[in-house]
Amino acid sequence: MSTLATLFVVVLLLNLIPAFAPPTWMAMSWVGFNIPEGNPFVFAVVAASAATVGRLVLATFARALVRGRLMRDSDRQNIEAVEAWLKKRKKLTVGAFFLYALGPFPSNYLFIAYGLSGLPLGVIGAAFFAGRTISYSVWAHLGRLASSYIDLEFPFEGGYLSGYFIVSQLALLGSVYILMKLDWKMLIEQRKLKWRRTMRGREVGRRGHTAKH
């Protein structure tokens, strides 16, 4: 029981980190490798529960802080165009989260981006949990299988903070910025890509003009 509790806390903390956190699949491989007598599916359910809670908290934090306080009105209106499009495609959104969760790819930026919208988090959380349960179970099984052929003293050559990991995290961070700056209304309605210009100066000028009147 203590092992499961430790696993839950570790995975939860990993999934609360917004950037540059070690991927959870590495932890699942380690668990399967070092505790081969354990049940991989039970490990997967516990880890997927922790990962889902962590990611939903991360998305909620992004919604409350970034969207609620830091985001400009023009950026918020731009995101609302995406909200309207996704509301009409709930099955597609849920399916996309499920399929994404099956892979080993980091999901922190995905939840941050989704959290910037006003869409409900429960449905995509359930899809993410299901996908991660399957993928974590596979990684735990692979770790246990590897323990049968590899000496337990064999050190894992981790890829955490490798060049590939750092570049991929920076690329994902840049993708969130790009998503914020795309003119989504024009992309959805006219199928045209357009880079939104900053509206800070115009908004300040408009507010000043309104104040005078």
What is the chain's pLDDT, residue by residue, as a tens digit (213 residues)? Answer: 688 898 999 999 989 988 777 778 778 877 877 787 888 899 999 999 999 999 999 999 988 887 766 667 777 777 777 777 778 888 888 999 999 899 888 888 889 888 888 788 999 999 999 999 999 998 888 877 776 665 544 444 445 445 555 665 566 667 666 766 777 667 776 776 677 665 444 444 444 444 444
**pLDDT tens digits along 44-70:** 999 999 999 999 999 999 888 877 666
Check residue 206 and give its pLDDT.
Answer: 46
| Burial of 114 from C-beta contacts in 10 A (0-12 / 13-18 / 19+) | buried
Q: Which residues pair with 182 in a beta bridge?
A: 195
- What total number of domains does the chain contain? 1
Check residue 53 and give its pLDDT.
Answer: 96
Do 14 and 20 contact (CB within 8 A), yes or no? no
The shares of helix, strand and coil residues in the chain, as percent rounded to the nearest 5, are 75, 0, 25
Which residue range is the domain that position 117 belongs to? 2-212
What long-range pairs does 143-150 form, CB within 8 A, spacing at least 24? 143/28, 143/29, 143/30, 143/31, 143/32, 143/33, 143/34, 143/36, 144/32, 144/33, 144/36, 144/38, 144/40, 145/32, 146/29, 146/32, 146/33, 147/32, 147/33, 147/34, 147/36, 148/36, 150/33
Q: Which two tokens stand for residue 139?
A: 């990684």
Q: d(Cα 135, Cα 142) in Å, to the nearest integer? A: 11
| Secondary structure class of 182 (helix, strand, coil) | strand
Check residue 203 and give its pLDDT.
Answer: 45
Do 109 and 175 contact (CB within 8 A), yes or no? yes
Q: d(Cα 143, Cα 78) in Å, to the nearest integer? A: 44
Angle at 88 between CA 86 and CA 94, to 5 degrees: 55
Check residue 24 and give its pLDDT.
Answer: 84
